[in-house]
Structure 1
């Protein structure tokens, strides 16, 4: 799980900075743990996920910065009423089925098996979370990093699913803001904006959208509707997916992606846009 790959020394230093403390004793008090826990984490080079969750939600620092040190230490959410111990208790009180439901929603899954297959977790383990009302903090942190959803929403069910923090300025003056959607179970769900380098955009940027899937993402020109060979965002019975399209004689087409390969009539599908750029994860 997540704990196995963390640099405990670096993360503890960032947690200390987030709380504004300089000693292990003060840090232990901030995290509400015994004083000798900090030295034990350092010796084992392993830090509990609960400490990470508590720090992020208590101090509102960036989760990516805290875990990976990649982003600026900036608060992204407005202060809320719950802090410290009361916030920690609130997190633990939302375990079991509610937090599992939010994890599934973040990934766009309908079944527990899909989550288990993705994270290599047995169905029995996931069922135990529900039965014991357990809070799977390591999975919550991994899900937040993987999907970009709000950690506060994922852990407590409060606030927005996505923080909605817009980029106020861009280091690249030619960057374009493109409307972003998440492709979840055949539905397109609004997910803020995606910044695109203008050099990668087609000649006309009108109608461009960015569609994010589980292991790939696509820049789609929704103004192109006339079906031709290529990669398309297609609706079949009001269910969206990305397909590679080959026109065939007799008003037919062949549709192919990683999950399907079939022929049908052009009249059976609704083209919703031509894919102009594909981004894929290789993990």
Structure 2
């Protein structure tokens, strides 16, 4: 039969969570929030795809163009995600450069933040260490990545505001809503509400 006589009837496209699970697999994301950030779409939009079992064709096409993933696999679940492995590796490098993240960096002078130039990070690495809202503090030869979403002091190194002055300090929570704060080798015990926690240090990079 001649191909020009064959009707091109629609495929039975899959949608909803089936498609977003495949997007997670090729993009290296784990949550709806991460997927939304990577694709520049809202979480509510993704929730609508799930609720109505929609196939987000533009998103699927975009993912295919960036990663080389198979359209048939993305939309129908047929075949392999990357039939041509060499092509996939090459395209993945392009995708990684697409999702770099600029972090504001500062040093602390007389208890105040002083702006420095931004630092650029791979967004997927920040996701791996579960940093949602990062900033960087440079102190001597070290750079501290602080997660400003983590503002409840439990145990670790924190950026704190005490009497309007900022500093990096080790903190250990004690019973009775008390905090033990280390200052240059000595320890001060204070009430929890005497200190404002700006964020917790998630990563320390030492200068070689």
Structure 2 length normalisation: TM-score? 0.47
Q: Decide which structure has greater strand share.
A: 2
Tell which structure's C-alpha radius of gyration is larger.
2
Structure 1 length normalisation: TM-score? 0.36
Q: Decide which structure has greater helix share.
A: 1
